[in-house]
Chains A and B, each alone.
Chain A
Amino acid sequence: EAGVVQSPRYKIIEKKQPVAFWCNPISGHNTLYWYLQNLGQGPELLIRYENEEAVDDSQLPKDRFSAERLKGVDSTLKIQPAELGDSAVYLCASSLGGQVSGELFFGEGSRLTVL
């Protein structure tokens, strides 16, 4: 069974440029998460989807970040414009249901460097 797939694995951009990350969750997983992991920190939730509905986006900086999950499968996370402080690893995860008592399956992450 294929795991959570993310692309690109690495991205280097200059500040003020846009960037987008893509995630394909495990087949059949209706819940999808985007997490931000800064260096030396644990992952922090940005947004959670139940199917195509964003049910928790309270931590998403909406002035520059946006996300979508069309058709309730793949998802994209966009930053426009990027700032130096956005340099981090962006992790996508999926699970069978919204209850966290089930395990989350993480992708390998997309490492962003903003110069």
Chain B
Amino acid sequence: DQQVKQNSPSLSVQEGRISILNCDYTNSMFDYFLWYKKYPAEGPTFLISISSIKDKNEDGRFTVFLNKSAKHLSLHIVPSQPGDSAVYFCAASAQTGANNLFFGTGTRLTVIP
């Protein structure tokens, strides 16, 4: 049973435009959310996170938005650059639980120069 879902397996965006990656979750106990980026043949690397007490967190070109009522979060990348081409994983955890990270299936972003 997939508790974190990324329904778009792939996304293509022109360089300089905005990339929006979406993620949905089902477990209302999740209170911390993270995005990881993965290049081929490398392990995932942490990108940005957000606590459930916030609805937005920004770090340079990357912004994560959280809509708790919809159990939905999104990652915005603006402007998109060719080096952003990678697989992006959404992850969630329940701090009061076992501190396990539940990952989505990933979205492959391709930024076209």
Contact = CB atoms under 8 A, between A and B. Distances in A.
A4 B62 CA distance: 25
A111 to B, nearest CB: 9
Give the contact-size bracket for chain B. 20 to 34
Contacts of B101: 43, 45, 100, 104
Nearest to B100: A45
Contact of A101 (B9, B32, B45, B100): B32
B89 A103 contact: no
Interface stretch (A61-69, A73-81, A91-99): A91-99
Interface of B: 4, 9, 32, 34, 36, 41-46, 49, 51, 89, 91, 93, 95, 98-101, 103-106
B44 A99 contact: no
Contacts of A104: 46, 101
A48 B41 contact: no
Given A98-B99, A107-B43, 5 more contacts: A42-B105, A48-B100, A103-B49, A106-B36, A106-B43
A14 interface: no
A42 B49 contact: no
